[in-house]
Structure 1
Amino acid sequence: MLGDAPSAKAHSEGRASPSISRRTALGLLGAAALAPTIGRARAADAATIRAGVLKFGTVNWELDTIRRLGLDSANGIRIESVQVASNDATRIAFMAGDVDVIATDLLLAARLTAEGTPVVYIPFSASEGGVMVAKDSPFKTLSDLKGKKVAVAGGPLDKSWLLLRAYAQSRDNFDLATAVEPSFGAPPLLAEMLANGQFDAGLLFWNFCARLEAKGFRTLISTEDAARAFGATGAVALIGYVFKADFAARHPEAVDGFAAASKAAKQALATSASAWDALRPLMQADDPAVFDALKRRFIDGIPNRPIAEEEADAARLYAVIAEIGGPKLVGPAKTLPKGLYWTGHAASP
């Protein structure tokens, strides 16, 4: 559980010189013996935040960087990763109070708030997927996919799928849901099937797009392309860290500390090659081309805009997605709830 914000505890350290008295030496030895205890007390004072994460999710890259660089303790927190088996399990753990924070999409954050469980949202990533096709395929636009077999990661209510449906309807006056032959499923399986030529195209999450890109696939249209067509002025972080609002109200310093640690980790990953070398085991990217593609796309998706701009663009996209997804997707939240974004000092870009 999250404790109160850590209190500062000062202690002095010294080393006996050859001329010190026996009493002083004994005192210093006693202090040295107590030093590990003091260190443990300091760690115990740090606010513990339990983060629900998938074993190989990209959130782990950032959390690992935070811990490895000591960015958690530097910001008065300790992050405890709680591994879960699926996105659904992550949300269940969050609602049950088994974890304090999860990374999820903006749509869920809005729906939870509208349904009576207010949350706060801290942008995590603006990296989005897109429609991937083989490098030598003849397809140039979404219209070219009419009648073709298209893999779609997630389900029929996936935000990227809905945004592309809205894009096709507004731009070319056709509905992807009926114009193509969509197959919904787990991203790893669909990516493999697309690579093997079992689909003509695939709408996949960004990390799977990166892996296919390294194999010679190209992006037909990205989710960001569609977002800009609806008025977004920059890349929108549709994935973010979510805390329950009552948790944030009780422990604002801890949430600020988490946001600050996240921002510092992103800065390290954006500027340090060695920070990425340490992540290779988590990335499952032995192929240098895959490693480079994952790294580039992650860095490109780091949010770096003022919260007000981020929120304004998010509200535009939310309205588009909510209209086509309807209550089944967003519940009673027809518009993006006010006050959803965490505006603590450390969370602001």
Structure 2
Amino acid sequence: MPTKAINRLLNIALAKLNEVIACLDKLKQPKIHTLSLLFAVGLGLSIAVSACSPNTTDNGTAKTAQTPQTATATTSSATTVRIGYQKAATVLNALKARGELEKAFASAGTSVTWAEFPAGPPMLEALNAGSIDFGYTGEAPPIFAQAAGIPLQYVAYDPWSTKAEAILVHKDSPIKTVADLKGKKVAFAKGSNTNYLIVKALEKAGLKYTDIKPASLPPADARAAFEGKNVDAWAIWDPYLAAAEQATGARQLTDATGLAGNLGYYLAAKSFVESNPNALKVVLDNVKKVSDWAKNNPTEVAKFLSPELGIDAGVLEIAEKRRTYDVLPITDEIIAKQQAVADAFYQIQLIPKQINVKEIVWQGNK
């Protein structure tokens, strides 16, 4: 085996060993348990195990998503850049499949590893444990993470779309307006972006959060409860929103327009931001290029995601056409929107203390 290849394997092995050691050390600290408790209360997820055992791989089996060529790193102090992703998060999933980030870092001698997670909360647990450096989630997980003291930073945002989440009712439901939800059983993922949508929709309709009967359920369980008419309404995001509409003929009471921003956030470990700003910029540059591809190719994105998610490509294309892609710097306006989410969660006691979102916003992407 060539010396260069041997050295690369040794670097990867050393990085893996350091990850395990860091993870074990972190699990001794109360911070992990604090966040796990918050997510258990706010999201109903058992995530401590996910932090130390993500599905991490080198990108040796790239898929065929037709993403564009990306920029090359000229300098990087990191020997390994570790990315956390979810299958439904199109941009990072496609970036992994194409292998362009590996090419971008090749000249710097930096390897890239990928860890798959089922949701944002366990991804941020892994970030806290030192297992990943970079990831993407919706609005809620970083709020819980900051409340628990996890050292992360917002490094960019994705506008996603206010049309990409909604409150659904059955096609034959007598419920016609949000005000009609009073006393009804409403399913949503507690502490998620749709939880915030529920809060704001009720507020606009003159109702309180306590006026409904919340059913805290993840998407798959909520879908089953909704189809079985065990709940009266369901707040959900795409592509599960589009899939439910197509399969059940469900009606939208309201989407998030005028109520919630429904934004996505690119997040990084504070230590990675401080130690490897050049590597972070290379990652964001490549993410941006794939995001631009996704924005301009909804049909191709749908075809790529269909086998990944087990959802028909035609349904996914509906979802893709009503969402927006971009990778943008965090502005004061965006900070204010995220702060509003945090304040709402504090008011309904989903997080134990008030937080200041601006304190953990990276200033290098201006």
Q: Provide the TM-score with structure 1 as the length reference.
A: 0.69
1:250 counterpart (275, 284, 287): 275
CA distance in 2 between counterparts of 1:256 and 1:62 reads: 16
> Given the superposition, is the C-alpha separation of residues 96 and 316 from structure 1 closer, same or farther in structure 2, using an over 3 Å criterion?
closer
Deviations 1:112-154 (A, max 9, x none): 44654432212245345221123443433211122323222x2
Residue 242 of structure 1 aligns to which amino acid in structure 2? L
Residue 308 of structure 1 aligns to which amino acid in structure 2? T
- Does residue 1:341 correspond to 2:361, yes or no? yes
Residue 356 of structure 2 aligns to which amino acid in structure 1? T
Residue 143 of structure 1 aligns to which amino acid in structure 2? A
CA distance in 2 between counterparts of 1:63 and 1:159 reads: 20
Counterpart of 1:58? 88
> Given the superposition, is the C-alpha separation of residues 80 and 112 from structure 1 closer, same or farther in structure 2, using an over 3 Å criterion?
same
> Given the superposition, is the C-alpha separation of residues 78 and 322 from structure 1 closer, same or farther in structure 2, using an over 3 Å criterion?
same
- Does residue 1:262 correspond to 2:287, yes or no? yes
Query: Where do 1:53-202 residues align within 5 Å?
Result: 53-54=85-86, 57-59=87-89, 61-73=90-102, 75-76=104-105, 78-84=111-117, 87-110=120-143, 112-113=145-146, 116-121=149-154, 122-124=156-158, 126-127=160-161, 129-152=165-188, 154-155=189-190, 157-169=191-203, 171-177=204-210, 179-202=211-234
SS of equivalent to 2:82: strand
Structure 1, gaps ≥5 residues long: 4-41, 228-234
Alpha-carbon distance, 1:246 to partner: 1.9
Deviations 1:295-346 (A, max 9, x none): 224xx142466532552442452354244234x51x44433233x333434x
Deviations 1:187-226 (A, max 9, x none): 1121132134332211123322121122322321223432
CA distance in 2 between counterparts of 1:182 and 1:160 reads: 12
Residue 319 of structure 2 aligns to which amino acid in structure 1? L
CA distance in 1 between counterparts of 2:318 and 2:234 reads: 18
Structure 2, gaps ≥5 residues long: 1-10, 15-73
Q: For the Cα contact (< 8 Å) 2:175–2:181, is it kept in 1?
A: yes
Deviations 1:28-53 (A, max 9, x none): xxxxxxxxxxxxxx9x9985322233
Alpha-carbon distance, 1:86 to partner: 5.3
> Given the superposition, is the C-alpha separation of residues 276 and 85 from structure 1 closer, same or farther in structure 2, using an over 3 Å criterion?
closer
Q: For the Cα contact (< 8 Å) 1:142–1:220, is it kept in 2?
A: yes
SS of equivalent to 1:311: helix
CA distance in 2 between counterparts of 1:224 and 1:214 reads: 21
**Greater Rg by CA:** 1
SS of equivalent to 1:321: helix
Compute the RMSD of aligned alpha carbons.
Answer: 3.4
> Given the superposition, is the C-alpha separation of residues 163 and 68 from structure 1 closer, same or farther in structure 2, using an over 3 Å criterion?
closer
